[in-house]
C-alpha cells in the first residue's frame, strides 16, 4: 500500500506503508546511527516525534526483545529507505514490520531519506504527516502540521509508581523523565540500589528517603514544559546530595539554577557525536538524542561552568556545578545505542557518593 510523508513546507514523499496504517502528525527528526534501531525505537525520548533513519538498510538483524530500552516503542512514526524483510541473526525474535504493527505505529519505506535529511538540516526540524490517504488535500494538511505541538510528553513516558532495583551499595534516587533501561542497569551493575521515581515526585519525598545520590534521567520534549519538575529540582540542587544528570535532566538542572535552554536547528541524534572533555582535552565518541540545548551565555559563572563541548558545532555537552557535588551531561553514557567511551561517568558518580562500598 502507498504511504505519503507530508512536510509542513509542502514537500511530499511517496513510499510504501509499513506497520500500522493509521494517520499521524508528528515532529520529524533524523537519527544517524548505523545500528541500534531497536534501542532507538524503544527510547522514550522519541515520544512526540517520527524518526527517520539515515542509514539506508534497517531491520537486517531483526528484533531482539532483550535489547529494548523500555517496554514499548515510543516514536509516533518510523521512516526508512529500505526495510529488510528477512532478518538474519541468531538472536532475532521478530521483524520490525510486526513490531510496528503490534504497537500501532505507522511508518513509510522506500523514500529518499538522504533528501529528507538534507531538507531537515537546511530548514530545521519541522512537523509532518504520515498517511495512506491518496486523496489528501495539501492546502488543508499544512495548517494542521504547523499547529502541532508535542506538549509535555514527559507525563506520557514517566513511570506511574516507584520501583526498586536491589543492590548492596549506595542508594540512588533516579528521577524518571523517560529513562532508558540501561541507566538504572548501569548503576545497579556497580552495586547501587536504585529507586526509580515518577517525574512528578516531590523533592521532599526523595530527600526523606535519604539517598546517597540522585540521578536525573533523559526524556522527551521541551524542558521548559516541565515547570513543576524544575521547581522540585531546584530544591534538590539546594540539598547537599550528589547529583548526576543526563540529557533532559541536564537541561532541567540548568533551568532550575537560572540558565536558559533553546531549541536546536535539527538536534543531535545518533551514536557518533564527538564530545571534548574541557578538563582533560580528551575527545569521546558519544550517543546522543536531543533537540534542545543549554545556552551557556545565560549561565551564572558562580553557579556552573561548561565541562564538555561538542566538537562538531561547539554546543554545550555538560556542566560542572561550583561548590556542589553535581555534574551533568547532554549525551548518553549508558551506551545503548553507541560506544562505551563514556561509561566512566557512572564511576565518577560513585566516587562523588564516597567511593566503592
Task: Please give the annotated binding residues for L-glutamine, written as ranges.
Answer: 45, 219, 221, 248, 251, 289, 291-292
What residues pair up with 332 in beta bridges, in sequence order?
287
Do 107 and 19 meet the contact criterion of CB atoms below 8 Å apart?
yes
Q: Supply the DSSP symbol for 55.
A: S
**Among the options 27, 247, 250, 273, which is catalytic?**
247
CB-count exposure of residue 243 (10 Å: 0-12, 13-18, 19+): buried
Alpha-helical regions (H) of 149-276: 154-157, 182-188, 203-208, 227-238, 248-256
Do 23 and 101 meet the contact criterion of CB atoms below 8 Å apart?
no
What residues pair up with 16 in beta bridges, in sequence order?
2, 109
Whether cis (ω within 30° of 0) applies to the bond prior to 337 is yes
Work out the number of other CB atoms within 10 angstroms of the CB of residue 291: 21
Look up 332 and say whether it is catalytic. yes
Phi and psi angles of residue 153, each rounded to the nearest 5 degrees, phi first: -80, -15
Q: Are strands 213-216 and 171-176 parallel, antiparallel or unpaired?
A: parallel
| Residues in the annotated binding site | 45, 219, 221, 248, 251, 289, 291-292
DSSP per position, 147-205: H-----THHHHS-SS-EEE--SS-EEEEEESS--THHHHHHHTTT-EEEEEETT--HHH
Nine cell digits for residue 11: 514537500
Pseudo-torsion of CA 105, 156, 220, 52, nearest 10°?
Answer: 10
Look up 334 and say whether it is catalytic. yes
| Of 217, 220, 212, residue with least CA distance to 198 | 217
Q: What residues are annotated to the active site?
A: 247, 332, 334
Amino acid at each position: 500500500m502507498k504511504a505519503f510523508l507530508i512536510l509542513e513546507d509542502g514537500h511530499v514523499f511517496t513510499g510504501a506503508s509499513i506497520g500500522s496504517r493509521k494517520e499521524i502528525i508528528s515532529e520529524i527528526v533524523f537519527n544517524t546511527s548505523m545500528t541500534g534501531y531497536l534501542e532507538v525505537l524503544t527510547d522514550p525520548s522519541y515520544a512526540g516525534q517520527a524518526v527517520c533513519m539515515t542509514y539506508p538498510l534497517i531491520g537486517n538483524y531483526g528484533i531482539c526483545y532483550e535489547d529494548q530500552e523500555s517496554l514499548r516503542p515510543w516514536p509516533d512514526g518510523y521512516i526508512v529507505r529500505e526495510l529488510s524483510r528477512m532478518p538474519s541473526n541468531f538472536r532475532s525474535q521478530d521483524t520490525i514490520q510486526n513490531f510496528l504493527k503490534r504497537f500501532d505505529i505507522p511508518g513509510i519505506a522506500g523514500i529518499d531519506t538522504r533528501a529528507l535529511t538534507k531538507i531537515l538540516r537546511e530548514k530545521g526540524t519541522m512537523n509532518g504527516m504520515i498517511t495512506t490517504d491518496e486523496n489528501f488535500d495539501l492546502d488543508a494538511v499544512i495548517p494542521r502540521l504547523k499547529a502541532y505541538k508535542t506538549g509535555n510528553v514527559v507525563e506520557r513516558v514517566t513511570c506511574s509508581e516507584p520501583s526498586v532495583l536491589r543492590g548492596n551499595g549506595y542508594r540512588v534516587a533516579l528521577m524518571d523523565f523517560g529513562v532508558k533501561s540501561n541507566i538504572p542497569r548501569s548503576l545497579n551493575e556497580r552495586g547501587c540500589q536504585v529507586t526509580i521515581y515518577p517525574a512528578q515526585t516531590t523533592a521532599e519525598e526523595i530527600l526523606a528517603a535519604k539517598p546517597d545520590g540522585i540521578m536525573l534521567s533523559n526524556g522527551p520534549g521541551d524542558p521548559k514544559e516541565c515547570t513543576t519538575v524544575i521547581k522540585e529540582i531546584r530544591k534538590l540542587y539546594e540539598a547537599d546530595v550528589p547529583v548526576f544528570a543526563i540529557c533532559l535532566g541536564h537541561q532541567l538542572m540548568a533551568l532550575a539554577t537560572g540558565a536558559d535552554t533553546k531549541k536546536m536547528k535539527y538536534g543531535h541524534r545518533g551514536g557518533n557525536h564527538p564530545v571534548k572533555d574541557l578538563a582533560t582535552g580528551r575527545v569521546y565518541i558519544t550517543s546522543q538524542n536531543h533537540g534542545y540545548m543549554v545556552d551557556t551565555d545565560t549561565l551564572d559563572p558562580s553557579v556552573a561552568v561548561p565541562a564538555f563541548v561538542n566538537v562538531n558545532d561547539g554546543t554545550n555537552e555538560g556542566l560542572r556545578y561550583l561548590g556542589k557535588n553535581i555534574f551533568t551531561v547532554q549525551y548518553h553514557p549508558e551506551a545503548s545505542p553507541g560506544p562505551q567511551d563514556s561509561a566512566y561517568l557512572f564511576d565518577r558518580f560513585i566516587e562523588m557518593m564516597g567511593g566503592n562500598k
